[in-house]
Structure 1
């Protein structure tokens, strides 16, 4: 039986098209467990988390991919970070007292932008930005790929605030289909069939059943599942490194006022507290304690 926290790659044997399908439920709940987000914000974070994981499948890298939706509306930020190991964490921000009663990207974010950042362990950092002109995240992502002149790519995403799922199709360089006309025909046919998928199907059906329902007349090769999990990469040493980067004068000012320095992870709400002695040791070049 399919895990509800998994991603799977698939290929069409007779067409230059690949795909990725993903389902998340308990891992998504884990990612949001530290926050009391409203239902509509949870739904949008589910869409963004699904999109980020699908996007990461299109890249060959070791590192972190982050997807941010920023706006001038009552909801100022949605952010998801995911790794090449298919772990992720998610965050939403808004001003205290903001009216979050709206639904959809435009209603909550207003005029906004979608920012994708790829930060590989080796190589150069890359960032792409596209305006959020559409009501759906999937359409905005389609715009991103069109504007960046990358391979044609389409997304189908569903989220109900408790679970989320998605499907991606991406054209591949010419291989099994020699003519552009044949390749275009295959892309259009497979995309049209994917457009028939419903949110309920994405959220409820196992991957094999869903693909059979959409592509029962196609030769589809479904690869093994890869587990998807929530994981926050915050740590005491990383917090200490951030404090060190702020400089001794600023940290001493905080110590003078509070007697200690506290760092809160905005993703998981983990709190790291540093005493005056630990701060002194930090700036003297000693390794921070891990407790």
Structure 2
């Protein structure tokens, strides 16, 4: 049996290629439990969660990686966040009727995918690509093929219970200095990865899966790292949103809503409430903080 909610790195001892495997069970189901998503949306959201975790492992930074797909189709928004500590959350927005829409081309026919890296220190980066191909993996593969980054291939799969992903990525020249040999090795490892069956990706533990694919290669599997669902919402963040309205508008909103403002987190459905006293305290504290900066 595979280990749930982990990401695990592997490398090929005699090739400049690394890999990563991700398994999401409890974290995926926790995210699905927050909303009543139809099956095609649940599947695509699971694939995006797996992709975000895989992408986060290719980066050396402390901060947040955000995958966001938008379209004018029945699935208007898919958004997943993964921290550098592999804490994930995700959300989808879709039309009430998805009749006949069960693939990414049906759900997001003119979709655009944005990959945002938001480090705690340093500059924010965003890359964009159209959702071309028959799957999210195809779109991500196309993004890396058209960029100047290292060659990267994704394999993604999800059902109602679990989400799985596999990544292969070329590394800088080290073990194989000959360009032709590097290309042949990269193609060979990907041809073998393409033989991976859905039931194998969903059902096998990582060691067995890698042996099934690469038993003639020397593969080193590293220790797994845990992945979990965690929402970054808080009363403080919601209070900051209220402050951005301005005091008079906040007071008017209080009056309109019967003396209590409720703010729901779209990701986890947690509700934060603010009465007149807490609203006045919020603005008083904000004013005091502003004065201390002058």
Query: What TM-score, normalized to structure 1?
Result: 0.95
Secondary structure of the equivalent of 2:48? Answer: helix
1:176 Cα shift? Answer: 0.8
Change (3 A) 1:196 1:271: same
Paired with 1:79 and 1:161, the residues of 2 have a C-alpha distance of 18
Q: Where do residues 83-98 of structure 1 align in structure 2 (5 Å cutoff)? A: 83-95=83-95, 97-98=96-97
1:39 Cα shift? Answer: 1.2
Paired with 1:114 and 1:57, the residues of 2 have a C-alpha distance of 19
Change (3 A) 1:79 1:128: same
1:20 Cα shift? Answer: 0.3
Paired with 1:167 and 1:133, the residues of 2 have a C-alpha distance of 20
Secondary structure of the equivalent of 2:157? Answer: strand
In the TM superposition, what whole-angstrom CA distance separates every residue of 1:166-212 from its partner, at most 9, and x where no partner exists?
10000000011111111111111111111111111111000000000
Partner of 1:243: 242
Secondary structure of the equivalent of 1:89? Answer: strand
1:252 Cα shift? Answer: 2.1
1:250 Cα shift? Answer: 2.6
Q: Where do residues 1-291 of structure 1 align in structure 2 (5 Å cutoff)? A: 2-95=2-95, 97-258=96-257, 259-285=259-285
The number of residues matched between the two structures is 286
CA contact (8 A) 1:75 1:100 kept: no
Paired with 1:34 and 1:189, the residues of 2 have a C-alpha distance of 42
Paired with 1:91 and 1:229, the residues of 2 have a C-alpha distance of 15
Secondary structure of the equivalent of 1:162? Answer: coil
Secondary structure of the equivalent of 1:285? Answer: helix
Paired with 1:161 and 1:117, the residues of 2 have a C-alpha distance of 27
CA contact (8 A) 2:51 2:165 kept: yes
Paired with 2:243 and 2:100, the residues of 1 have a C-alpha distance of 40
Paired with 1:52 and 1:128, the residues of 2 have a C-alpha distance of 14
Paired with 1:42 and 1:100, the residues of 2 have a C-alpha distance of 15
In the TM superposition, what whole-angstrom CA distance separates every residue of 1:229-266 from its partner, at most 9, and x where no partner exists?
11111111111112112322332221120122111000
Secondary structure of the equivalent of 2:150? Answer: coil
Paired with 1:262 and 1:18, the residues of 2 have a C-alpha distance of 47
Paired with 1:286 and 1:249, the residues of 2 have a C-alpha distance of 14
CA RMSD after TM alignment: 1.4
Paired with 1:216 and 1:38, the residues of 2 have a C-alpha distance of 39
Paired with 1:171 and 1:152, the residues of 2 have a C-alpha distance of 5
CA contact (8 A) 1:42 1:162 kept: no
